[in-house]
């Protein structure tokens, strides 16, 4: 890879549409870079012409709060662990913010609707996909967009960062992810925020009315519950 990059030094940066097409087809690869604190690099980025190696700063991957010394306290509402737990927790939280109680059947249906909405935006609509570049990046760090699109059709698909990036924007819903304090410090009964998505929607604007964040608890065992 290094030799390919060296040979293509000075090549023009591909357009976003080209990058996204290569991600979709599994032709793009990523090199995650640590944030350099905003300092300009003396070396211009390298953009290979045939097999694009997209360089992605870690700061692009979600809105990490960095507040690991901040402990908050909530009640935990357990969510069924059937593979769609993240989507279940999200629809339960959004419904509760509206004062609505979902039946078990409605919860499953709404969770599957969210999952399929992500598929339609990211996998089925090339134009819409360009609005969610961070989500595409998050997906394709580990697999091709085509493969991810195939897996997301399954009802037991595990949602994660890429889906949160899409749904926070698509639903105009602020979402905050927490971990148990005891998993980070080895003790404590509180919860620590580790990632934030769509916080702009927690404030009023001309385009939308502010919404209360949905708080999800990630247990570290690939499971999400709802914090209230």
- Give the pLDDT score at 28: 57
CA angle 17, 22, 25 (to 5 degrees): 125
- Give the pLDDT score at 68: 56
The Cα–Cα gap between 51 and 3 comes to 12
- Give the pLDDT score at 145: 80
10-60, pLDDT tens digit by residue?
445 555 556 555 655 556 554 444 444 444 444 444 433 333 333 333 333
The Cα–Cα gap between 113 and 131 comes to 20
* Alpha helices (runs of H) in the chain, residue ranges in sequence order: 2-7, 16-24, 85-97, 104-119, 126-129, 133-140, 145-151, 161-170, 181-185
How is residue 124 annotated by DSSP?
Answer: I
For residue 33, give the H/E element and its range. strand 29-33
The CA R_g of the chain, rounded to the nearest whole Å, is 19
Q: Which one has a higher pLDDT value, 109 or 219?
A: 109
- Give the pLDDT score at 25: 59
- Give the pLDDT score at 144: 81
Candidates 183, 197, 189; CA nearest to 61 is 197
The share of the chain scoring above pLDDT 70, in percent, equals 69
Domains of the chain: 2-60 (no CATH), 76-227 (3.90.70.80)
Weakest mean pLDDT among 58-67, 130-139, 151-160, 194-203:
58-67
The share of the chain scoring above pLDDT 90, in percent, equals 49
The Cα–Cα gap between 199 and 121 comes to 21
Candidates 143, 163, 158; CA nearest to 25 is 143
73-124, pLDDT tens digit by residue?
999 999 999 999 999 999 999 999 999 999 999 999 999 999 999 999 998 8
Q: What residues are annotated to the active site? A: 82, 85, 223
User: Structure pTM?
Assistant: 0.70
Tokens encoding 174: 């602020």
What's the gap between Cα 163 and its chain centre?
5
């Amino acid at each position: 890879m290094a030799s390919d990059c060296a040979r293509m030094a000075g090549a023009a940066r591909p357009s976003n549409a080209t990058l996204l097409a290569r991600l979709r087809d599994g032709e793009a690869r990523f090199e995650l870079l640590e944030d350099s604190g905003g300092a300009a690099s003396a070396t211009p980025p390298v953009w290979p012409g045939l097999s694009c190696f997209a360089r992605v700063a870690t700061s692009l991957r979600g809105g990490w709060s960095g507040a690991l010394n901040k402990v908050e306290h909530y009640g935990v509402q357990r969510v069924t662990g059937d593979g769609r737990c993240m989507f279940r927790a999200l629809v339960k939280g959004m419904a509760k913010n509206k004062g609505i109680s979902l039946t078990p059947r409605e919860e499953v249906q709404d969770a599957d609707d969210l999952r399929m909405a992500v598929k339609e935006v990211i996998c089925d609509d090339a134009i819409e996909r360009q609005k969610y570049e961070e989500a595409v990046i998050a997906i394709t760090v580990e697999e091709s967009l085509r493969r991810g699109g195939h897996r997301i059709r399954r009802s037991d698909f595990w949602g994660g960062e890429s889906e949160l990036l899409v749904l926070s924007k698509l639903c105009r819903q602020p979402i905050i992810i927490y971990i148990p304090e005891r998993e980070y410090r080895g003790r404590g009964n509180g919860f620590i925020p580790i990632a934030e998505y769509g916080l702009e929607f927690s404030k009023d604007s001309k385009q939308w009315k502010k919404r209360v964040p949905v708080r999800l608890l990630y247990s570290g065992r690939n499971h999400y519950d709802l914090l209230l």
